[in-house]
Amino acid sequence: MRAVVPGSFDPITNGHVDVIRRARAIFDEVVVAVGANSSKKYLFEPTERLELVRAATADIEGVTADPLTGLLTDFCRAHGADAIVKGARGAVDFDFEVGMARMNHSLTGIETVILPAAAQWSYVSSTLVREIATLGGDATPYVPAVVARRLATRRAHD
């Protein structure tokens, strides 16, 4: 069975990687769908985010990453996905994801699996990581090493 783990991943965090690993333990294959949300302001360009996701998940057998444009349900159909996997840090995330799961199911019948964030990552978000990094703080504990290096490089050039 194949699952899709969608997100904007700006940047990918250790919490994201944890959800991807856990999804891979459940499903034979996992495709990480790296998309864009028109209401968000991004630190990294789409190609950079895709590159960072691929680098951060390179050691997880059975995981690939592709760009997501358009509807997630169309992406899932095109990739032969059996399910969508989403992580939820708390009640607000869960409530949002349940609504999305219901909509995606009504469109295509695809099921969504919602994995609770691991306790050590439950407070980490890409938004907080971006804020820490852009204000000169150290985001290293919250992101894969490849992301920490890219954030440091970006900060050095700003």
How far apart CA 19 and CA 7 sit, in angstroms, is 12
Output phi, psi for 86, to 5 deg: -130, 145
Given 54, 79, 89, 155, which residue is catalytic? 89
For this structure, is 89 an active site residue?
Answer: yes
The pLDDT score that the predictor gives to residue 41 is 83
Given 40, 77, 102, 106, which residue is catalytic? 40
Q: Give residue 11's domain range.
A: 2-157
**Torsion 134-137-141-142 (CA) sign:** negative
Q: Are 44 and 8 in contact (CB under 8 A)?
A: no
Of 149, 150, 155, which is closest to residue 135 (Cα–Cα)? 155
Here the CATH number for the domain that contains residue 74 is 3.40.50.620
Asked if the bond preceding 6 is cis, omega within 30° of 0, the reply is no
The pLDDT score that the predictor gives to residue 158 is 58
The DSSP result for 14-81, as a single string, is: HHHHHHHHHHHHHSSEEEEEE---TT---SS-HHHHHHHHHHHTTTSTTEEEEE--S-HHHHHHHTT-
Q: Are 98 and 88 in contact (CB under 8 A)?
A: no
Neighbours of 86 (CB within 10 A): 22
Given 22, 24, 49, 126, which residue is catalytic? 126
Q: For residue 153, give the amino acid letter.
A: T
The pLDDT score that the predictor gives to residue 97 is 93
pLDDT by residue, tens only, the chain of 158 residues: 999 999 999 999 999 999 999 999 999 999 999 998 777 789 999 999 999 999 999 999 999 999 999 999 999 999 999 999 999 999 989 999 999 999 999 999 999 999 999 999 999 999 999 999 989 999 999 999 999 999 988 765 65
What is the number of structural domains in the chain? 1
For this structure, is 40 an active site residue?
Answer: yes
For this structure, is 122 an active site residue?
Answer: no
The DSSP result for 74-108, as a single string, is: HHHHHTT-SEEEEEE-SHHHHHHHHHHHHHHHHHH
The pLDDT score that the predictor gives to residue 44 is 93
Given 16, 22, 49, 130, which residue is catalytic? 16
